[in-house]
Amino acid sequence: MRLIQETDFGTPASRSEKTVTLTIDGFEVTVPEGTSVMRASAEAGIKVPKLCATDMVDAFGSCRLCLVEIEGRNGTPSSCTTPVADGMVVHTQTGKLKDIRRGVMELYISDHPLDCLTCAANGDCELQDMAGAVGLRDVRYGYEGDNHVTARQSDQPNMRWMPKDESNPYFTYDPSKCIVCSRCVRACEEVQGTFALTIEGRGFDSRVSPGMHEDFLASECVSCGACVQACPTATLTEKSIIEIGQPEHSVVTTCAYCGVGCSFKAEMRGEELVRMMPYKDGKANRGHSCVKGRFAYGYANHKDRILNPMIRETIDQPWREVSWEEAMSFTATRMRGLQETYGKDSIGVITSSRCTNEETFLVQKLARAVFRNNNTDTCARVCHSPTGYGLGQAFGTSAGTQDFDSVEHTDVVIVIGANPTDGHPVFGSRLKKRLREGAKLIVIDPRRIDLVRSPHIAAAHHLPLKPGTNVAVLTSLAHVIVTEGLMDEAFIRERCDWDEFQDYAEFVADPRHSPEETEAITGVPAKELRAAARLFATGGNGAVYYGLGITEHSQGSTAVMALANLAMMTGNIGRNGVGVNPLRGQNNVQGSCDMGSFPHELPGYRHVKLPEVRAIFESLWGVEIDSEPGLRIPNMLDAAVDGTFKGIYIQGEDILQSDPDTHHVSAGLAAMECVIVHDLFLNETANYAHVFLPGSTFLEKDGTFTNAERRINRVRKVMSPKNGYADWEVTQLLANAMGANWNYTHPSQVMDEIAATTPSFAGVTYDLLEEKGSVQWPCNEAHPEGSPIMHVDGFVRGKGKFIVTEYVATDERTGPRFPLLLTTGRILSQYNVGAQTRRTANVAWHDEDRLEIHPHDAEQRGIRDGDYVRLASRAGETSLRALITDRVAPGVVYTTFHHPGTQANVITTDYSDWATNCPEYKVTAVQVTPSNGPTEWQVEYEEQARQARRILQAEPAE
C-alpha cells in the first residue's frame, strides 16, 4: 500500500474536441484546444514550477513561478494562463527562467517562517517543493524587515502579524504562513460556490480573510474543506494532520453519509485514519467534499460506541455484556422459539440503507431463506419508496435517470422538495456552478432554501407552495405546458404511448387544473407558475432534481409520477443534461432497494409472486421461497401491537427516531419479545431491544454502496473492525446460529451471488469495479460498462407511461386547534437522526433543533426568538426553541430532526403514501404555543432511555 498521489495538472481540462500539437522542451505534445501550456506540459510529464495554479480552479497567473519562454514571443508568459497553439515551441527551463524563478522564491521565503522541520505541512508542502525545484540556496533580503511571520519585531508588537485562527473544529488558519496565492479564495468561489473568503487589503498588507475579517467559524464558511485541500502551504491545515502527522498510505473508499456517494482517499498512518481527502477521479464528486464526509468521521472512535454484544431477558433490565457465541445462541434460540410458538411469520428483518449492498442482500436473504418468510423491509420505506414505485411505473426502472455530471449540461433545473446545499452539498455545489454559468433555476418549496437566493445564485422562480400540494402544483405546470402547446410532440409520439398521453392531456387541460384555479389550494401565484412552466418547457435541457419533500406525502408516488410526466412531455429524458433525478437521502438507499429489501420484491425489483424469479433463488439457496409478500414496517408494528409479530432483527436503523408517530413505534417494539438491534451506538430503538449486536463502520469493512445515480462504488476496509466483525459477518453468524450454512469469506462472493441472480447487476464484479473505479447499473451484456444515462434509445418498460395525477388533499388538515403546517428537513452539518454527526465536532454548527416560524405567526403567539415553544399535533407534542425567520411563509413552520431530545416524530402522524406507505413527514397540522421547557413525554422518555441504557459492569475475573 502506498499514499495515492494524484497528478495536479495545474489548470482544469479543456473540453474541446479539436486538438493542437506543440513542442515542449523538444517533445511533441498533442492536447485539446484551450489547454494551458502548463497542463500540456504536465500531460507530457514535464512539471513546470507553480504555486498559485492547481487544477481544481481556473488559472490565475499571480505567483510568477510558472513562466516559460515561447519561441517567437516576447517576454516570459505564465504557462498557466497561456493557451496552447499549433506549432508552438515552448522552453520550460532556460537560464533566464531559472534566474526569475529563484528571485521570486527569494521574495516568498523572505516573508515565510523557516520552521519546516516542525511544520505540519512538512512532507506535503508545495512551497518547500518549489524552493527545492528552483534551487533556492540563499535569501538575500534577510528576515529582519517588515514581515507577517513574527509576533514581535524589535521588541515591539508586529502589527502585521495575526494569530492562528483555530475557531473551526477541523482546521486551522495560520496567516503567518500564507503566501497569498488565492487558491483558497478561488476554491471557495469556483468549487464550493460559497464565496466566504477574500483577500483583504492590498500589496504587502494582503491577507486571506474569511467574511469581513471574521474568524472562520463566524464567517459564511461551510467547512467543506476545499480551501484546505487547495492550500499549498500549512496556512490552512487539518487539525488531525497537526495532531498526528502526515499519512503514509491511502485507500480509496466511499463516503457513508448522503446519497451523493463521494469518493474519498482515506489517508492512513497504520490503522489510524489521518484524514479523508476527496478523490479527484471520484465520478460523483469530482474531487469535492462537504463538512460531513471530509471531517465528520470522529464518531467511529466515540466513547459511546458499543464494542461488545449485549443481551437481556427483558427491556427493564440492565444490559449484560456477553461473548459473540453467547449472544448468537441466545438470539437464535429466542427467534426460533418465537417461530415455534407464534408461527414462522412472527419474526422479520429491517435492512439498512447505511450498510453495504452485500450486507443488505444477506439480511433479506436471512428473512427469505432462514426465517422462511418475506418479512423484510427497509428504511427506504420512510424516504424514497415512492420513487421506486413511481419511476418504476412511468419508465420501468426504479431509479434516477442521469449521472451527476449531467448537471453540467442542464439549462433549466427544477428543484422540488429538496435542499441540495444542505442535504446533498457536493451536488449542491455542482449545481451552483452550473447556475453561475447561466442555467436557470425553478425552486418549488414551502421554504426559501439557500438556492432561492445566495451569493451569485438566484432562482428565476420560487413557487412557495403550501406543504402537501405538490401534486396540484405539478399538474398545474403540466396544464400550462399542454394548453399552451409547449409539449414536445415528436418525443411523445416516438417514445411514449400516444393514446395514454391523449387521455392524460385531456385530464390536465381541464380548467380546474389551471394555475388560476389551483392558486387557492397551493398558495402559488398563478402568474409565477405559468412563467415557470414556460421556462421549463422552452428553456433547453430541462432537469428535475427532487428529494423527500416529494416522496414523504400521502401522494408521494403520485408526485413522482407527475415529475415523470413533466419530463416526458417536454422531451427531457434520455440524454445529457435532462432527466428525473431523486436525491437519495442515505448513502445506500438506492442499493438497499435494489437488493430486494422490500417484502414484495426479490433483488432487482422482481415480485415474489413470479415463480420464475423465485426459482432462480430457490435453486441457488436450496430452500423454497414464500410466494406471499411479507409485512412492511408499519404492518410489522401493527401486528406486534396485535400480538402476532414477536421478533425483529434491525440492522443499522433507528426506527424509533426516524419512523413516524413515535408513540406507535414504541408500543410496537415494547410488545415484541426479541428485538435485535445491530448498530454502532445504543440508539433510541435499542431502548426496546433484548439483543444488541455491535456494528462496524464503513471504514472497517469491504463492500459496495450504490448512490443516487445508480453508481456502484467500492467501500474498502482501512482498519480492522473495533467490534470484531464486519456487519456482513455478524449477519452470517446469526444465520448460521439459526441453522443456515453460509460460508462467505469476502463480500465479493456476495456480489457474485447478486450478479448471478439479478439481471441489472449481471456484469458487476469486484474486478470490474477495481478496473473502472465504479459502474452504474444496469451493467450486463447489453451495457458491459454500465449506464450513466438511462432510457437513451427508449424506455426500459417500452413506451413511457403517462399516468393521471389527480390531486387528493391529505387528510391531515389545519383547523382551529392546529392552524399551522409543520414540515421537516435537514441541515448541512448534521445527518439524519444525528447518531453519527452528533458524536463529532459538527455540533459546533448545530447543537439543537430549532422551530422556524414566520415573524407574523410568532408575534400573534407572543413568541420571541429563542423562546421555548410547545409544538403539538393530533399525534403528540414536544418542545423546542423557536427561530423567527421569514424563510418560511406565514402559516408554515419548519424543523430539523437531528436531535433525539426533540423527538420531532412524536408530532408526525401515521398518514402515509397511498401506494408505498411512505410516511407523510412533510405535512403535519400543528399548534405552537409559548412553553417553559420540555414536555412531560420528553421528561418521561429521557428517564426511560436512561434506565434502558444501563450496562452491568462485568464481574472482575477471579
Binding site for another protein (CB under 8 A): 194-202, 209-213, 219-220, 453-458
Q: Residue 469 phi/psi, 5° resolution?
A: -115, 25
Whole-number Å distance between alpha carbons of 463 and 444: 5
**Measured between alpha carbons, how far is 655 from 382 in angstroms, rounded to an integer?**
10
Kindly state the smallest distance separating residue 180's Cβ from another protein, in Å: 12
Backbone angles phi, psi at 850, to 5 degrees: -120, 155
The residue (of 199 and 951) whose beta carbon lies closer to another protein is 199
Report how far Cα 693 is from the mean position of its chain's Cα atoms: 26
Closest approach, Cβ 454 to another protein, in A, equals 8
* Among 466, 484, 457, residue whose Cα is nearest residue 525: 466
Q: Which residue, 196 or 412, is less far from another protein as judged by CB?
A: 196
Rounded to the nearest whole angstrom, what is the least distance from the CB of residue 570 to another protein in the complex?
29
Q: CB neighbours of 425 closer than 8 A, spacing ≥ 6?
A: 222, 224, 258, 260, 290, 291, 292, 828
The whole-angstrom separation of Cα 367 and Cα 618 is: 13
Give yes or no for a contact between 724 and 730, defined as CB atoms under 8 angstroms apart: no
d(CA 88, CA 70): 7
- Count of other CB atoms within 10 angstroms of residue 443: 25
Grid cell, residue 227, equals 480551501
Please name the helix (run of DSSP H) or strand (run of DSSP E) that holds residue 706, with its range, or none. Answer: strand 703-706
Cβ closer to another protein: 159 or 957?
159
Closest to another protein by CB, 199 or 841? 199
242 versus 458: smaller Cβ distance to another protein: 458
Nearer to another protein, 457 or 750 (CB): 457
CA 890 to chain centre: 30
Amino acid of residue 173: Y
CB of 195 to another protein, least distance (A): 4
Nearer to another protein, 153 or 198 (CB): 198
* Cβ-based neighbour number of residue 190 at 10 Å: 18
From the CB of 542, what's the least distance to another protein, in Å?
24
Q: CB 850 → another protein: shortest distance, Å?
A: 22
> Nearest approach, Cβ of 845 to another protein (angstroms)?
18
Least distance to another protein, CB of residue 53, Å: 21
Strand, helix or coil for residue 348: strand
If one counts every other C-beta atom within 10 angstroms of the C-beta of residue 34, the result is 16
C-alpha neighbours within 13 Å on the C-beta side of residue 142: 3
Nearer of residues 454 and 720 to another protein, judged by Cβ? 454
Tell me how far, at minimum, the Cβ of 156 lies from another protein, in Å: 14
Q: Output 845 or 868, the one with its CB closest to another protein.
A: 845
CB of 203 to another protein, least distance (A): 10
Dihedral sign for Cα 382, 385, 387, 389, please. Answer: negative
Of residues 145 and 203, the one with the C-beta less far from another protein? 203
User: In this complex, which beta carbon is closest to another protein, that of residue 184 or of residue 735?
Assistant: 184
Minimum separation from the CB atom of position 185 to another protein (A): 8
Phi, psi of 91 (to 5 degrees): -120, 125
**Whole-angstrom Cα Rg for the chain:** 29
Instruction: Rank residues 219 and 285 by Cβ distance to another protein and give the closer one.
Output: 219
Distance CA 873, CA 230 (A): 48
CB of 534 vs another protein, minimal distance in Å: 24
Closest CB 390 distance from another protein, rounded Å: 35
Q: How far apart are CA 566 and CA 487, in angstroms?
A: 9
Q: Write the DSSP assignment of 628-684 as a string of letters.
A: S----HHHHHHHHHHTS--EEEEES--HHHHSS-HHHHHHHHHT-SEEEEEESS--S
Of the pair 204, 498, the CB lying nearest another protein is at 204
Nearest residue to 347 via CA among 570, 38, 649: 649
Nearest approach, Cβ of residue 227 and another protein (Å) = 12
CA–CA separation, 637 and 615 (whole Å): 30
In angstroms, the CA 595 to CA 168 distance is 40
3-state secondary structure 252-272: EEECCCCCCCCEEEEEEECCE
Got the DSSP string for 782-821?
SSTT--SSSSSSSBTTBSB----------S----SSS-EE
User: Are the CB atoms for 270 and 594 separated by under 8 Å?
Assistant: no
To another protein, the closest distance from the beta carbon of 247 in angstroms equals: 31
Whole-number minimum distance, CB 594 to another protein, in Å? 41
Query: Given the complex with another protein, which of 58 and 220 has the nearer CB atom?
Result: 220
Q: How far is the CB of 214 from another protein (least distance, A)?
A: 9
Q: What is the DSSP string of 351-388?
A: E-SSS-HHHHHHHHHIIIIII-S--EEEGGGGTTHHHH
- 219/475 with CB nearer another protein: 219
- For another protein, the closer CB: 453 or 950: 453
Q: Cα(818)–Cα(923) distance, rounded to whole angstroms?
A: 12
Nearer to another protein among residue 198 and residue 720 (C-beta): 198
